[in-house]
Structure 1
Amino acid sequence: MSTGLIIAIVIVAAVVVVAAVLAAVRSRGSGPQGLKRRFGPEYERTVAQHGGDTKEAERELAERVKRHGSLHERELAPAERERYAARWTTAQERFVDSPRESVAEVDRLLAELAAARGFPAGAQYDEQVAALSVHHADHVDGYRRVHRAALAPAGGSTLGQAGTEEMRTAMIEARSLFDDLVTPSSHEPGRHRAEVGADSGGHLPWSANRSRPKES
């Protein structure tokens, strides 16, 4: 048997082994327990959305993993991270006088930031959220809340004191997803999270200190 043939056989065998391992991993991750571990609160939300039908919910979640599980998040350059952090700070400061405009800007910011990290573009909102739920399941619902608030009609419940509180809560919850997306996946992520998590005055965001802007 020639050396070339032996090498070819070894390569084919290695490919088969790797494929088998990946299939086993996907199988464990797409079973009921694997889906619960992977999606956490998103699992319960999806079950509730399907009226308690766990099989339908798990079918939907498994389909999300199939479509988006292999997505590779692109790392942001330091200058990009700083620009996004500055935009968040500006939007947060604007909330005091213009809560609706602030929420709309955060909605746009999250869509652009997710796209910059490699998720589907913001114009494909449903697919973007589905992909985010696979990789950031703990915090994706904050994005949904901000998006709903941003699209609410001008005469709806998001106006007035109750509406301002609703928008403030949406901003707080969306901050967690923003932090996840803007923080590097490696290279001292905790230290950088502290850096981008402070506003221009060095103060922690609402989500950390629970201070609240005055109602508009």
Structure 2
Amino acid sequence: MSTVMLIVLIVVVAVLVVAVAAVLYRARARVGGGRGLRRRFGPEYDRTVARHDGDTKAAERDLGERVKRHGSLRTRPLEPVAREEFTARWTVAQERFVDSPREAVTEADRLIAELAGVRGFPDAGHYEEQLDALSVHHAHHVDGYRKVHRAALDTTGAEHGAGTEKGGADTEEMRGAMVEARALFDALMAQDADGGAARTGRRTARGRSAGLTPKGAQHG
């Protein structure tokens, strides 16, 4: 075998080795990335896969893009006065649920959107982008916001005569949305990055959820 042929053979083998290594690396990265995304997003990972009709690769591309766009976001501190105002407004909304569930749900949706904007997430005028950013940093609670937003939109339709028969949220759906949304509200209100305040808030939310029973339904 000539020297030239030997060199060509070595080059070909080297190229093949590099190509195989690259394929294996990408395969490991996909597996590791998928596991990492599943750990990071928890239930939001499964929801995204379902939204992509079971296409895991498409779902992971979606979630990966969210992390790229919003992963470096740093929340802004919440001033004491604003904290008191948001707390008071949520209390009023929750108490209002007894008499006016639809108004309460609409106010809860508005409150979370405003609070997220104050904390540094995309503002309330960009719901989808705000939701994506929240899913990166509050993946275990963001679905509560999604549900309360959907319920608020449904109440608008019901007020114009759509009613629950045509997709309007019923009282039980609205109650569940309020309870789940409260967990995200508490997480956004939390001062400490370690989540201590958020855990306390979730306990409080569970304790107060019993108050979200409309009049006339206590014995239903």
Report the equivalent of 2:196. 190
Q: Distance in 2 between matches of 1:68 and 1:124?
A: 14
Q: Distance in 2 between matches of 1:142 and 1:113?
A: 14
The partner residue of 2:128 within 126, 129, 147 is: 126
TM-score under structure 1 length normalisation: 0.75
Deviations 1:75-122 (A, max 9, x none): 111221111111100000000111000000000000000000000011
Is the counterpart of residue 100 in structure 1 residue 99 in structure 2? no
Q: Distance in 1 between matches of 2:202 and 2:209?
A: 14
5+ residue gaps, structure 2, are: 1-28
The partner residue of 2:54 within 52, 55, 63 is: 52
Report the equivalent of 2:93. 91
Q: Distance in 2 between matches of 1:164 and 1:46?
A: 27
Report the equivalent of 1:8. none
8 Å contact 1:39–1:134 — kept in the other structure? Answer: yes
8 Å contact 2:190–2:197 — kept in the other structure? Answer: no
Deviations 1:145-177 (A, max 9, x none): 000010111123289xx7011100000000000
Give the Å deviation of 1:214. 2.8
Q: Distance in 2 between matches of 1:111 and 1:82?
A: 17
8 Å contact 1:75–1:185 — kept in the other structure? Answer: no
Report the equivalent of 1:208. 207
Query: Looking at CA atoms only, which structure, 1 or 2, has the larger radius of gyration?
Result: 2
Give the Å deviation of 1:185. 2.3
Distance change in 2, residues 1:191/1:182 (3 Å):
closer
The partner residue of 2:151 within 149, 152, 155 is: 149
| Number of residue pairs matched by the alignment | 180
The partner residue of 2:173 within 156, 162, 166 is: 166
Q: Distance in 1 between matches of 2:33 and 2:195?
A: 31
TM-score under structure 2 length normalisation: 0.74
Give the Å deviation of 1:183. 0.9
Distance change in 2, residues 1:210/1:114 (3 Å):
closer
Q: Distance in 2 between matches of 1:54 and 1:197?
A: 31
What SS class does the counterpart of residue 51 from structure 1 fall into? coil
Q: Distance in 2 between matches of 1:77 and 1:129?
A: 23
Distance change in 2, residues 1:80/1:37 (3 Å):
same
Q: Distance in 2 between matches of 1:142 and 1:133?
A: 11
Distance change in 2, residues 1:190/1:182 (3 Å):
same
Give the Å deviation of 1:193. 6.5
Distance change in 2, residues 1:192/1:124 (3 Å):
closer
Give the Å deviation of 1:130. 0.3
Q: Distance in 1 between matches of 2:38 and 2:198?
A: 30
The partner residue of 1:135 within 125, 134, 137 is: 137
Report the equivalent of 1:14. none
Two-structure CA RMSD over aligned residues (Å) = 2.6
8 Å contact 1:164–1:215 — kept in the other structure? Answer: no
Give the ranges of 4+ consecutive aligned residues of structure 1 lying more than 6 Å apart after TM superposition. Answer: none
Match for 2:40: what amino acid? R
Report the equivalent of 1:179. 186
Give the Å deviation of 1:208. 2.9
8 Å contact 2:144–2:178 — kept in the other structure? Answer: yes
5+ residue gaps, structure 1, are: 1-26, 199-203
